[in-house]
């Protein structure tokens, strides 16, 4: 079966743009503008981006109307219902998922049909209980095989499709209990095949030309995934909730992609009102956006533009606060000093020892000073402790155009003389306590006022 030639869209839009404007804008999270990713770095203005999105959506709706033909449902177009016994069922070329009942089952049972209380109680039994009841006596055996008890069970579990049509037994007078038994035997041979993208296992999907999903409830993402392999599909009936839902725009956007249902030409007439509503809504929003663009940005947009311009000015290259060329801007952060810092600029050829000397000359007044540069430790982010013999360029300190490079400053204030005296005092106190024996407590209390105590230095 040769597929009809495809219709090219009136407006040239690449699948990448369609996916960006129609699919990705609602499915993917987009972070708010920040200093690291401001909106002004994008190619278009936020208002222009919104207008292009509306234009793409409107283009997708018009393209779907040009490409597809909307026809009424088979039950509405002709007098033959979907459950007519004269309508053939071709399983290889059509998937019918309808909720209609069997045409041979007229009444659901009850007192008006059955003749006694036993027959009424049998209507509440399950198939397994009916089979067990048929072994009690001959009367119950005949009653349990009555077609009026088994006809309501001759439907598929999920789709509620008639089993007689499914098994090709419309015109054959087969007892209902035998039809149910044949279906149970077929379920035992059911094999579940894992989903795969190989062309060999999807070859049967290429033979489907008509699919009816009007009585099926599927999420939009699952529907798009399941319909993608059906390259020869020409007739489609969407689920009712999708044809009337806002998610219809996802399906319309997917139709604009060349790899999705390239042969689809006919859809149910119930989709037409939803397309009319989408086209009217997109046209109104597009006219409103163009009016705002001509009259100038609104107040909120003007505030956003001012914020973006201020961010852009702060992030401009070669800022006075950042590094530029052969110079490095360093921000020295003093530990445990509540954010005290000093910003200095040095050539990259400056040694770390010279940096420490310059830092001592610009030492903050409210930070305890040090007289020995060897006690100063400079720790840069990701580079560890800076050695005095190396230059800033040899230390590979990162440079930034927007802000100075942070460097942590710590001072080692340990004194070797104090440590030696403290150790001797502590050892002498222990020897005195051991020599005095029982009077150690009194001796220590009397000498505590005249001798210094033990000093502990935490390094």
Mind listing the pLDDT tens digit for each residue in 56-92?
A: 777 777 877 777 777 776 544 444 444 444 444 333 3
Residue 321 is predicted with a pLDDT of 61
- Quick one: CATH architecture of 327-416? Roll (3.10)
Task: Report the percent of the chain where pLDDT is more than 70.
Answer: 53
pLDDT band at 258 (very low <50, low <70, confident <90, very high): low
Residue 405 has pLDDT above 80, yes or no: yes
333 backbone dihedrals φ, ψ, rounded to 5°: -105, 120
Residue 127 has pLDDT above 50, yes or no: yes
pLDDT tens column, 367-396: 888 888 888 888 887 677 888 888 888 888
C-beta neighbour count of 273 within 10 angstroms: 12
Residue 227, by phi and psi: left (phi above 0), alpha (psi -120 to 50) or beta?
Answer: alpha
Q: What is the mean pLDDT of residues 213-233?
A: 74
With a CB cutoff of 8 Å and minimum separation 6, the contacts of 21 are 52, 53, 56, 57
Residue 215 has pLDDT above 70, yes or no: no
Greatest mean pLDDT among 72-76, 104-108, 311-315, 448-452 lies in: 72-76
342, 362 contact by CB (below 8 A): yes
> Mean pLDDT for the chain?
66
Least confident stretch, 2-16, 77-91, 353-367: 77-91
Greatest mean pLDDT among 57-61, 87-91, 256-260, 455-459 lies in: 57-61
Residue 138 has pLDDT above 80, yes or no: yes
Q: Look at residues 274, 269, 192 and name the one whose alpha carbon lies nearest to residue 236.
A: 269
Residue 34 has pLDDT above 70, yes or no: no
Residue 135 is predicted with a pLDDT of 86
| Eight-state DSSP code of residue 21 | I
Domain definitions of the chain by residue range: 327-416
Q: What is the mean pLDDT of residues 298-327?
A: 56
pLDDT band at 440 (very low <50, low <70, confident <90, very high): very low
Residue 103 is predicted with a pLDDT of 40
């Amino acid at each position: 079966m040769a597929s009809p030639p495809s219709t090219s869209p009136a407006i040239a839009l690449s699948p990448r743009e369609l996916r960006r404007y129609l699919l990705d804008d609602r499915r993917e999270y987009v972070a708010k503008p920040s200093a690291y990713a401001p909106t002004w770095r994008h190619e278009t203005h936020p208002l222009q981006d919104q207008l292009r999105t509306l234009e793409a959506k409107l283009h997708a709706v018009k393209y779907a109307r040009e490409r597809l033909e909307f026809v009424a449902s088979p039950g509405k177009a002709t007098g033959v219902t979907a459950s007519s016994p004269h309508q053939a069922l071709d399983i290889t070329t059509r998937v019918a998922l309808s909720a209609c009942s069997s045409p041979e089952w007229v009444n659901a049972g009850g007192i008006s049909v059955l003749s006694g209380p036993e027959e009424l109680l049998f209507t509440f039994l399950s198939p397994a209980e009916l089979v067990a009841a048929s072994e009690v006596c001959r009367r119950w055996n005949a009653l349990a095989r009555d077609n009026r008890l088994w006809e309501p069970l001759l439907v598929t579990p999920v789709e509620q499709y008639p089993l007689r049509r499914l098994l090709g037994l419309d015109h054959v007078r087969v007892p209902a209990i035998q039809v149910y038994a044949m279906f149970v035997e077929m379920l035992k041979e059911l094999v579940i095949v894992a989903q795969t993208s190989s062309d060999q296992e999807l070859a049967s999907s290429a033979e489907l030309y008509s699919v009816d999903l009007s009585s099926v409830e599927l999420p939009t993402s699952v529907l798009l995934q399941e319909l993608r392999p059906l390259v020869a599909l020409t007739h489609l009936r969407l689920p009712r909730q999708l044809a009337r839902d806002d998610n219809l725009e996802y399906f319309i956007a997917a139709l604009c992609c060349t790899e999705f249902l390239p042969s689809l030409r006919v859809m149910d007439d119930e989709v037409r009102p939803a397309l009319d509503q989408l086209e009217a809504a997109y046209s109104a929003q597009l006219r409103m956006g163009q009016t705002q663009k001509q009259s100038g940005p609104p107040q909120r947009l003007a505030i956003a533009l001012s914020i973006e311009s201020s961010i852009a000015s702060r992030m401009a290259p070669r800022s006075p606060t950042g590094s530029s060329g052969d110079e490095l801007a360093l921000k020295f952060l003093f530990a445990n000093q509540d954010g005290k810092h000093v910003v200095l600029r040095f050539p990259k050829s400056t040694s770390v020892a010279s940096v420490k000397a310059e830092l001592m000359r610009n030492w903050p007044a409210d930070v305890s000073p040090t007289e020995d540069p060897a006690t100063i430790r400079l720790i840069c982010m990701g580079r560890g402790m800076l050695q005095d013999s190396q230059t800033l360029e040899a230390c590979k300190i990162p440079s930034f155009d927007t802000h100075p490079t942070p460097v942590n400053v710590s001072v080692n204030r340990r004194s070797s003389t104090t440590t030696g005296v403290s150790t001797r005092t502590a050892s002498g106190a222990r020897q005195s306590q051991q020599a005095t024996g029982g009077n150690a407590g009194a001796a220590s209390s009397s000498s505590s006022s005249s001798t210094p105590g033990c000093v502990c230095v935490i390094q």
